[in-house]
Amino acid sequence: MRLGVNVDHIATLRQARLEGLPDPIALAEEALAGGADGIVCHLREDRRHIQDSDVVNLRKLKTRLDLEMAATSEMLKFALKVKPDMVTLVPEKRAELTTEGGLDVVKQTKKLKPVIEKLQKAGILVSLFIEPEPRQVEESAVLTADFIELHTGAYARKPNKTELTRLSMATEKAKWIGLRVNAGHGLDYQNVHNIVQIYGLEELNIGFSIIARSVVVGMKQAVSEMRRAIG
Ligand code: PXP
């Protein structure tokens, strides 16, 4: 299981005072030293945490960069310029504290298709952040996404067998129809244990719990503890 570490909330702290500290790039390097397999960041329309220059600088690190973004023409233009290894398309609402719910790919096929095509044509892998629902998985394959990322938020909030089964069935279906599968959102040092048992998942993308832990033990240690938790 690979671990992608999301550094958004390092930037959240920096933006609180605009003093240039803490530096998401330096802490991304610490995360890599602690065992992260790649770095993830979300460039939001309102630039509340990660800034354009952060993405440009993260791209210079010798690691895989997964850029989360909304499927807008502004973000598409930016992604084609920076060329991350992967773009994860996410829904975005201005008022939300964090990404609420998955992308409704069934309803947004027309909007997503040209964005996916342009990114893939530029050699960028495309992942769609979706709820673990059969129709969303099927439509992701129709849209020829390379990956889906299953939204683990409902499970993370209230770990239970029904949600875990939804996640494992969505993974199985996705693999069956040729999609590669990542998962993330709300995962922490405890609730991650059952998620790693889901056969077929390639990568977990984890941000908040690692960043919160890093305040106590430092980034390298926080990532290596998560590394140990996910095996
Ligand atoms: N995956 C996606 C697509 C996300 O939008 C987020 C939140 O930015 C995460 C994973 C990480 O979630 P968390 O910060 O709760 O670990």
42 C-alpha to ligand 1 centroid (Å): 8
| Ligand 1 neighbourhood includes 98 CB (under 6 angstroms) | yes
26 C-alpha to ligand 1 centroid (Å): 20
The interaxial angle of helices 208-217 and 219-230, nearest 10 deg, is 130
* Cα–Cα distance measured from residue 148 to residue 182, given in angstroms and rounded to the nearest whole number: 6
Element (H, E) at 219: helix 219-230
Catalytic pick among 30, 68, 139, 149: 68
The 3-state secondary structure of 8-40, one letter per residue: HHHHHHHHHHCCCCCCHHHHHHHHHHCCCCEEE
State pTM to two decimals: 0.96
User: Is residue 90 lining ligand 1, measured as CB closer than 6 Å?
Assistant: yes
pLDDT of residue 55: 98
The secondary structure of 134-180, three-state, reads HHHHHHHHHCCCCEEEEECHHHHHCCCHHHHHHHHHHHHHHHHCCCE
Domain boundary assignment for the chain: 2-230
How would you classify residue 145: left for phi > 0, otherwise alpha for psi between -120 and 50, otherwise beta?
beta
| H helices, E strands: number in the chain | 11, 8
Query: Active-site residue 42, yes or no?
Result: yes
User: Considering the domain 2-230, what is its CATH architecture?
Assistant: Alpha-Beta Barrel (3.20)
List the chain pLDDT tens, one digit each, 231 residues. 999 999 999 999 999 999 999 999 999 999 999 999 999 999 999 999 999 999 999 999 999 999 999 999 999 999 999 999 999 999 987 667 766 789 999 999 999 999 999 999 999 999 999 999 999 999 999 999 999 999 999 999 999 999 999 999 999 999 999 999 999 999 999 999 999 999 999 999 999 999 999 999 999 999 999 999 998
Note whether 45 and 70 are within 8 A (CB): yes
Contact 22, 13 (CB under 8 A): yes
- Cα 89 from Cα 128, distance rounded (Å): 5
State how beta strands 147-151 and 2-6 pair.
unpaired
Active site residue 185: yes
* The predicted structure's pLDDT at residue 92: 81
For the CA of 186, the nearest atom of ligand 1: 15
Give every CB contact of residue 74 below 8 A, 6+ residues apart in sequence.
45
pLDDT score at 88: 98
pLDDT at 94: 67
- Whose tokens are 């719990």? That residue is 209
41, 220, 221 from 68: Cα distances, Å? 6, 23, 25
149 Cβ inside 6 Å of ligand 1:
yes
Residue partners of 71: CB distance under 8 A and separation at least 6: 89, 103, 108, 111, 112, 115
